Amino acid sequence: MAETSLLRKSDLNSLSFGNISEISAARRNGAEPTLSFEFFPPKDEVGEANLWNAFEKLLEVSPDYVSVTYGAGGSNRERSLAVVERMSKQVLTIGHLTCVGATKSSTLEIVKFFEQVGVGAILALRGDSPKDDPDALSKGELKTALELVDLVREATDLEVGVAAFPEVHPESPNMEHDSRVLALKQASGAKFAVTQLFFSVQAYTDLVASAQAAGASLPIVPGVMPISNAKQIVRMAELSGAAIPDELLAKFDQAEDEDQAREIGMAYSTQLAKDLVAAGAPGIHIFTLNHHAAALELARGAGLCR
């Protein structure tokens, strides 16, 4: 097998940049894609150890930034904020912020916290209602991510990013509607978008074309999941509404064991990352699930790090 060419060669210190747009521009000026990783706050001590072990391993390949998720209805708020604070001291960090079920005052408290710890951006998301409070959205003061973008932009100079949906938002009638909403978010001050889970280059390029047609010109960074556990990823895809290509499902069905299924999945997700960069994606945001091995395998296989 031919060795993959290294696409990110410049040695950049992410903490010398003020926000995500600045370091992304530095990469773009050098014709290089960004590399970033997503983590989620742990639920217990074992999860805590896994998270920080993965973080330290992935920090060794000098990601341009990382992001930390925020649970449904702020269910893991304190853990999430603690992770953001610790990571932001070592690498440019995006703090996810959801508004479902939240008051404006509680949301602004978190924005102020993000200011104090010096995050690189806030990813403004509506979020989903937690399982134990399915009516949370109707109870909160903020109903949409667009309202959250407006609130954050009024309250802070921190950069704001938003979500984009290659497979169309589950509550949206079509991609054209999604794209109009994305354009409104950009008009309100959003500077970049990160996609939800998807599995084909076509889904990404269709999204970008639709967004541009609607007037949304902000960079859209594709989120890619390393397929190291086929059964787990299939379940996640079903829950998120992301379509896994039939040919990949067929290969999984033909796999002799889990090791072979992993090999098939990792080869597919690595090629997907390569093809996305070739198709013009500004970088790759890897969903780590708080594990480093598959994330590193994907990043290295796609030429995003040594």
SS (H, E, C) 176-233: HHHHHHHHHHHHCCCCEEEECCCCCHHHHHHHHHHHHHCCCCCCEECEECCCCCHHHH
CB distance 151 to 184 below 8 Å: no
Q: Both ends of the chain: CA-CA distance in Å?
A: 17
CA-CA-CA-CA torsion sign (44, 46, 51, 52): positive
CA distance 66 to 83: 11
Per-residue tokens: 54 = 């993965």
Catalytic residue among 3, 22, 38, 167: 38
Is-catalytic flag, 22? no
CA distance 284 to 306: 15
Instruction: List the catalytic residues.
Output: 38
